[in-house]
Amino acid sequence: MGEKVIYVAEDRLKIKSNTEKSIAYKLLAGKLFELSETVCLDVNYQYTNLGKLKGGDVLDVFDADDVLEESELVTKPFEARIKSHGFNGGLLFKF
Protein backbone atom coordinates (compact mmCIF):
# COMPACT_ATOMS: atom_id res chain seq x y z
CA MET A 1 0.00 0.00 0.00
CA GLY A 2 1.29 3.41 -0.88
CA GLU A 3 0.51 6.34 1.38
CA LYS A 4 0.21 9.84 0.01
CA VAL A 5 0.10 12.93 2.22
CA ILE A 6 -1.19 16.22 0.84
CA TYR A 7 -0.31 19.43 2.70
CA VAL A 8 -2.61 22.43 2.37
CA ALA A 9 -3.58 25.50 4.45
CA GLU A 10 -0.11 26.38 5.78
CA ASP A 11 0.85 22.76 6.59
CA ARG A 12 -1.91 22.35 9.22
CA LEU A 13 -4.09 20.01 7.19
CA LYS A 14 -2.99 16.58 5.97
CA ILE A 15 -5.08 14.25 3.85
CA LYS A 16 -3.80 10.68 3.85
CA SER A 17 -4.80 8.14 1.24
CA ASN A 18 -3.98 4.49 0.66
CA THR A 19 -4.09 2.69 -2.66
CA GLU A 20 -4.77 -0.99 -3.22
CA LYS A 21 -4.69 -2.78 -6.53
CA SER A 22 -7.10 -5.44 -7.73
CA ILE A 23 -7.46 -7.35 -10.98
CA ALA A 24 -10.10 -6.48 -13.58
CA TYR A 25 -11.13 -9.02 -16.20
CA LYS A 26 -13.74 -9.84 -18.84
CA LEU A 27 -14.98 -13.25 -20.03
CA LEU A 28 -16.71 -13.70 -23.39
CA ALA A 29 -18.59 -16.63 -24.93
CA GLY A 30 -20.62 -16.75 -28.11
CA LYS A 31 -22.23 -18.94 -30.72
CA LEU A 32 -23.13 -18.35 -34.35
CA PHE A 33 -26.23 -20.19 -35.62
CA GLU A 34 -26.73 -20.52 -39.37
CA LEU A 35 -30.43 -19.92 -40.10
CA SER A 36 -30.08 -20.11 -43.87
CA GLU A 37 -27.34 -19.76 -46.49
CA THR A 38 -27.44 -15.97 -46.20
CA VAL A 39 -28.58 -15.29 -42.60
CA CYS A 40 -26.87 -16.18 -39.29
CA LEU A 41 -27.90 -15.50 -35.70
CA ASP A 42 -25.07 -14.33 -33.44
CA VAL A 43 -25.64 -14.78 -29.67
CA ASN A 44 -23.03 -13.97 -27.03
CA TYR A 45 -22.56 -13.41 -23.32
CA GLN A 46 -20.00 -11.28 -21.52
CA TYR A 47 -19.08 -11.04 -17.84
CA THR A 48 -17.04 -8.09 -16.61
CA ASN A 49 -15.46 -7.79 -13.16
CA LEU A 50 -13.75 -4.48 -12.43
CA GLY A 51 -12.58 -5.54 -8.97
CA LYS A 52 -13.14 -4.21 -5.49
CA LEU A 53 -13.70 -0.54 -4.71
CA LYS A 54 -13.09 0.79 -1.19
CA GLY A 55 -13.42 4.34 0.01
CA GLY A 56 -13.81 6.73 2.89
CA ASP A 57 -11.64 9.69 3.84
CA VAL A 58 -10.28 10.70 7.25
CA LEU A 59 -9.19 14.30 7.66
CA ASP A 60 -6.32 14.88 10.13
CA VAL A 61 -5.53 18.40 11.38
CA PHE A 62 -2.03 18.96 12.81
CA ASP A 63 -0.59 21.87 14.78
CA ALA A 64 2.65 23.70 13.91
CA ASP A 65 4.72 21.05 15.74
CA ASP A 66 3.13 18.26 13.66
CA VAL A 67 1.04 17.03 16.60
CA LEU A 68 -2.38 15.65 15.71
CA GLU A 69 -5.11 18.04 16.89
CA GLU A 70 -8.18 16.23 15.57
CA SER A 71 -9.34 13.53 13.19
CA GLU A 72 -12.66 13.64 11.44
CA LEU A 73 -14.32 11.12 9.17
CA VAL A 74 -15.13 13.18 6.09
CA THR A 75 -17.06 10.54 4.14
CA LYS A 76 -18.65 7.28 5.21
CA PRO A 77 -16.52 4.23 4.51
CA PHE A 78 -17.81 2.02 1.73
CA GLU A 79 -16.88 -1.14 -0.15
CA ALA A 80 -18.32 -2.41 -3.41
CA ARG A 81 -17.58 -4.90 -6.15
CA ILE A 82 -18.21 -3.73 -9.70
CA LYS A 83 -19.54 -6.49 -11.96
CA SER A 84 -21.74 -6.71 -15.03
CA HIS A 85 -23.40 -9.41 -17.09
CA GLY A 86 -24.38 -8.78 -20.70
CA PHE A 87 -26.23 -10.71 -23.36
CA ASN A 88 -26.05 -9.62 -26.99
CA GLY A 89 -27.59 -10.86 -30.17
CA GLY A 90 -27.56 -9.94 -33.80
CA LEU A 91 -28.33 -11.05 -37.31
CA LEU A 92 -25.60 -11.40 -39.92
CA PHE A 93 -26.50 -11.14 -43.58
CA LYS A 94 -24.10 -12.61 -46.14
CA PHE A 95 -23.93 -10.87 -49.52
pLDDT (tens, 9 = 90+) of the chain, 95 residues, equals 455 555 555 555 555 556 677 789 999 999 999 999 999 999 999 999 988 877 666 666 666 666 666 666 556 677 788 899 999 999 999 98
User: Do residues 52 and 81 lie in contact, with contact meaning Cβ atoms separated by under 8 Å?
Assistant: yes
> What is the per-residue pLDDT for 78?
73
Q: Which domain holds residue 9?
A: 2-93
> What is the per-residue pLDDT for 80?
82
Say which amino acid occupies 22: S
- Closest by Cα among 35, 18, 12 to 93: 35
> What is the per-residue pLDDT for 27?
97
Residues 64, 67, 69, 70: what is their CA dihedral angle, to the nearest 10 degrees?
Answer: 130
User: Do residues 19 and 1 lie in contact, with contact meaning Cβ atoms separated by under 8 Å?
Assistant: yes
Q: Number of structural domains, the chain?
A: 1
- Closest by Cα among 89, 82, 91 to 25: 82
> What is the per-residue pLDDT for 72?
61
